[in-house]
Amino acid sequence: MSEIQGLPQPDPVPEKANPLPTPPSNPTPSLETLRGWLPLCLSNTDATLSHLSRILSTPSGTDTFLLTICYTSLLSSSLLSSISLHRIHSAARRLISQAIALPPNTTVIIDTSALPPPRLLITARRLKALSELISDFRIFARLWGLLSIYNWGKRVYSSPAKDVLVRRIVYTQVASNIAYQYLENGAYLSSKGVLGWSKEMQSRAWIWSSRFWMLHVGLDLVRLWREAHLRTLKGKAKEGSDEDNKWISKWRKEVVVNAAWAPLTLHWSLEEGFAGDFWVGLLGSVAGLAGFRELWRTTGNV
């Protein structure tokens, strides 16, 4: 057999190699390390709680926070319900297949008391109850919304926008919000027995209040497009100064929030609707988190 010349020879295998140090299987921080972390953790916790306190000190901040919790709870409830029901269906299918495989005339006794409680389903129901409670509270807190709409209308009429289209859009939004708030207040108070609107009238009021809200959202999207178009004409479309960056950040946030509300307002404007809890929770969470993120950023240095 021929032999190939010039190949490097393999390194000789040492008789006894030095083993590599084995890292600890479960490294635990020392007490001194934990003591060093404690001041930093306390400082971060204090800063976070103080920041959240500043947000909750205003009605708008509280509403944004509750809105976020409301829809994220509904979304979590929908996801947990789906997971729990999928597990129940899988267990039922396995049980049926096992029962079919038994000999004929076999008596099958299922002791349901021995089954573990559906913890995910229980948690899902509690999260949905929390979402409904927050939603009811937010509607109650909006009973005085006509006062803020009045101040908003007085402000936009005394200092109108320079652009004709934007000015007309805002005027229409003020009128739309007055109708929305009046109908929602009447339907809510009647559902609690304070006013005497019939069930049929309450149902129509809820639907039409949502339609006026949908009008507001649609007009807001048109206003945002118009404002961006006007800035483009002025050559301010790109990011530049801090003021421009703040305007662009706020504009993008409003686009995301309105884009998330648009399908939901359409859903609530229809008698039957078309979106389930998952989509309502998802879109509402997008709107809530986008608003809360911007609120957290703007109140960070206060």
Write a three-state SS string for 22-79. CCCCCCCCCHHHHHHHHHHHHHHHHHHHHHHHHHHCCHHHHHHHHHHHHHHHHHHHHH
Taking the CB of residue 56, how many other CB atoms lie within 10 A of it? 13
**Which tops the pLDDT comparison, 47 or 11?**
47
pLDDT at 278 over 80: yes
Average pLDDT, the chain: 84
Supply the pLDDT for residue 8.
43
Residue 23, pLDDT above cutoff 80? no
Q: Which helix (H) or strand (E) holds 272?
A: none
What proportion of the chain, given as a percentage, has pLDDT over 70? Answer: 79
CA distances from 98 to 101, 186, 196, 259 (A): 5, 57, 58, 50
Residues 6+ apart with CB under 8 A from 37: 29
Whether the predicted pLDDT of 45 surpasses 70: yes
Please state the φ and ψ torsions of residue 165, each to the nearest 5 degrees: -65, -45
d(CA 115, CA 111): 7
Residue 117 three-state SS: coil
pLDDT confidence tier of residue 2, bands split at 50, 70 and 90: very low
The residues near 108 (Cβ < 8 Å, ≥ 6 apart) are: 99, 102
> Is the pTM here over 0.85, yes or no?
no
**Structure token digits, residue 178:** 């007055």
- Pull the structure tokens for residue 235: 């050559």
Is the Cβ–Cβ distance between 54 and 278 less than 8 Å?
no
Residue 113's pLDDT is what? 58
The alpha carbons of the chain give a radius of gyration, in whole angstroms, of 30
Residue 53 C-alpha from the chain's centroid: 20
Answer yes or no: is pLDDT of 28 > 70.
no
Q: Could you tell me the pLDDT band of residue 22, with boundaries at 50, 70 and 90?
A: low
177-196 residue pLDDT tens: 999 999 999 999 999 999 99
pLDDT > 70? residue 41: yes
Q: Which of 31-40, 65-74, 107-116, 252-261 has the lowest mean pLDDT?
A: 107-116
Interval 193-251: pLDDT, tens: 999 999 999 999 999 999 999 999 999 999 999 999 998 888 765 656 778 888 888 89
Q: Which tens digits make up the pLDDT trace of 145-170?
A: 999 999 999 999 999 999 999 999 99
Q: How confident is the model at residue 119 (pLDDT cuts 50, 70, 90)?
A: confident
